[in-house]
Amino acid sequence: MSNEWPLWEIFIRGQHGMSHRHVGSLHAPDAEMAIKNARDVYTRRNEGVSIWAVEARHIAASSPEEKGPLYEPSNSKVYRHPTFFDIPDEVGSM
């Protein structure tokens, strides 16, 4: 049995209406302590209103070796970007 606590990935929502963003990772014995540790490590300067903790082993990740087949085909498809519309200023940031 490993003596290391499991690794958790921490996501914090900075303000209401925004989405949670990955801020980093930390070690904790369980989910509750992961949230407490996240509170102490990542929100001490008033950064957040909500914390998610996900044990790192539950995250499925794409493989870097597959980046060719996964991403390169979309390089040449500019028509997929919505850059051909005039967006009124009143819309604000999108």
Partner 1 sequence: MDALFQFLLRMGDNTLVLGHRVSEWCGHSPILEEDIALANTALDMIGQTQLWLGLAGEVEGKGRSADDLAFLRDAWDFRNVLLVELPNGDFGQTMMRQFLFDAWNVTMLGRLMQSSDKRVADIAEKASKEAAYHVERSGDTVVGLGDGTEESHARMQAALDYLWPYVGEMFESDDVDAAMVEAGISPDPASLRGEFDELVGRVLAEATLTIPASPYAHKGGRTGYMHTEHLGHLLATMQWLQRAYPGAKW
Residues that bind partner 1 (CB under 8 A): 5, 26-29, 32-33, 36-37, 39-41, 44
Q: Which is nearer to partner 1, 18 or 32 (CB)?
A: 32
Residues 6+ apart with CB under 8 A from 2: none
Please state, as a whole number, how many other Cβ atoms lie within 10 Å of the Cβ of residue 8.
24
Min dist CB 32 to partner 1, Å, is 7
Q: Look at the block and give the residue holding tokens 């070796």.
A: 65
Give the distance from CA 51 to its chain's centroid: 11
Min dist CB 58 to partner 1, Å, is 19
Q: Which is nearer to partner 1, 51 or 90 (CB)?
A: 51
Q: Which is nearer to partner 1, 40 or 67 (CB)?
A: 40
Min dist CB 26 to partner 1, Å, is 5
**Which run of H or E residues covers position 51?**
strand 50-55
